[in-house]
Amino acid sequence: MCPLCKKVAGQLTAVTRTPASARVQVQLERSDLRSMPWHSPQLVNARYFPYAIGHALESSAGLVSLGFHTPRRDDTAMPLWKRLGFLFVFVVPALMPMAAWLGTRTGMPNLTAWFPLFFLFVLLPLADYTLGHDPRNVDRSASATLEHDGWFKGMTLAALPAQLGVLAWSGWHFVHAGFDASGTLGWLLSQGIVGGVLAINVAHELIHKDTALERAAGGLLLTSVGYHGFKIEHVRGHHVHVSTPEDASSARFGQSLWHFMPRALLRNTANAWKLETARLALRGKGWWSAGNELIRWSLLWIVLASAFTSWLGPIGLVFFLVQGFLAACSLEIINYIEHYGLERRRLESGRYERTTHLHSWNSDYLLSNLLLFHLQRHSDHHETPRRRYQVLLHHADSPQLPGGYASMFLLALCPPLWFRIVNPVLARWRQA
């Protein structure tokens, strides 16, 4: 930081300890003010400079007094209730044993096998609309501290043992529960959705991070549902081509979910292998080499499938394969929701315009955002992919979904209803 910046920051340091808002004046030489690099990154990122620009209060005797408004402490840091609120995600794996317990208590295990779906797609949307919106963003001054707060990282890493534990228990229960056709379908769909939330959603957060531990945990989570190609295709493919015809995970305007989903599943899997083959080719290696990350994850997936087979027999293998397929389907349904109808302009150079928060749908519903580690602030995620979930921003000028992901998930399953509700929202946003 330049000496002048230090001078101002030094006069503001004491104010950061005050619990209430305050108005502070800093005296500067007029000559200093003229040379002050207002738009330098140092100043833009400083704690209070965004409040200072253009606030010259008075000048006399060659001095200029600048006014700084210091925000209240509770406006700059995440409140405790929200820090703890992200633990809500661990309710999701608990839904499976809860369903089994309800089945035992009521004597209707085939009915209660559907309880996790009832919770996530009926109770959650109702609670989401009742509690309402959460457009509040963490102040820039608190972002750096929150970014390095181990509490948030620990919750995402804890999802790995939770996913592996509930997957093993759920498979065992499935084999021994004696479900009829209705109970079988309900249990498999429930476990698939649980895997979509706990494995794929959390892995999505982890695979974007710099640490080897987080990326490895993300890969393990994805392998538990057999969609490990997402680790490669999402980062190197989807984030490069999002909202263009080249991206299989971006639904076109007027495209139904049922037209989109099978193509997304096949194209994204194939593209993951192409991307990894191309990466190895640049290093002079073939796709079959030991350096192929997809081969390693695939071998681990085969080990997991074999373990389920040897432990629980053929039915255990069917459970493992079907729950993974359904989890992957749930991911592509969410992809459909996140990018439906949004397009990046092709420039005269032939390249597409830079990805911004205008190229993904945003949703600021409080409860579902806590459950999904702020995944619904997807607009900011695509603008700044490495930003951790706890400091993702709500952008009011992004296209806004009329509900949280749980309600939009159900809406997407019925294309005529989806088009009737979402298309007008998209049209109004484009006009605005």
As a three-state string, the secondary structure of 345-363 is CECCCCCECCCCCCCCCEC
Give the pLDDT confidence score for residue 25 in this predicted structure. 52
At 17, is the pLDDT very low, low, confident or very high (cuts 50, 70, 90)?
A: very low
3-class state of residue 60 by DSSP: strand
**131-205-268 Cα angle (round to 5):** 110
DSSP code for 389: G
Mean pLDDT, rounded, for 369-378: 97
Q: How far apart are CA 91 and CA 4, in angstroms?
A: 51
Percent of the chain with pLDDT over 70: 82
**What would the two tokens of residue 259 be?**
């037209």
Q: Does pLDDT of 15 surpass 50? A: no
Per-residue confidence (pLDDT) for residue 28, from 0 to 100: 55
Is the pLDDT score of 98 beyond 90?
A: yes
State pLDDT tens for residues 138-179.
Answer: 988 888 899 999 999 999 999 999 999 999 999 999 999 999
Q: What is the pLDDT of residue 8?
A: 56
Going 137 to 143 to 146 to 152, the CA torsion angle's sign is: positive
pLDDT of 45 above 60: no
> For the chain, what percent of residues have pLDDT higher than 90?
76
How does residue 18 score in pLDDT terms, banded at 50, 70 and 90?
very low
Is the pLDDT at 194 greater than 70, yes or no?
yes
pLDDT digit string, tens, across residues 397-420: 999 999 999 999 999 999 999 999
Q: Are 342 and 250 in contact (CB under 8 A)?
A: yes
Residue 381, token pair as written in the block: 């995620």
Cβ burial of 137 (10 Å; 0-12, 13-18, 19+) is: middle
Q: What CA–CA distance (Å, rounded) separates 366 from 370?
A: 6
Average pLDDT, rounded, for the chain: 86
Residue 139 has a pLDDT of 86
Q: Span 95-99, mean pLDDT?
A: 98
414, 129 Cβ separation under 8 angstroms: no
Using the predicted structure, report yes or no on whether residue 335 has a pLDDT greater than 50: yes
Reference 424, options 394, 397, 401; nearest CA is: 401
If residue 57 lies in a helix (H) or strand (E), which one and from where to where?
A: strand 56-60
- Of 52-66, 213-227, 272-286, least confident by mean pLDDT is 52-66
Q: In the prediction, which pLDDT does 75 show?
A: 40
Residue 234: which of 245, 254, 257, 250 has the closest Cα? 250
Quickly state the pLDDT bin for 182 (edges 50, 70, 90): very high
Q: Write the DSSP assignment of 277-291 as a string of letters.
A: HHHHHHTT--TTSTT
| pLDDT score of 225 more than 50 | yes
Under the banding of pLDDT at 50, 70 and 90, the label for residue 5 is: low
Q: How far apart are CA 112 and CA 183, in angstroms?
A: 8
* pLDDT band (50, 70, 90) for residue 9: low
CA 8 – CA 153 distance, rounded (Å): 34
Examine the pLDDT at 229 and tell me if it is beyond 60: yes
Q: What is the pLDDT of residue 63?
A: 47
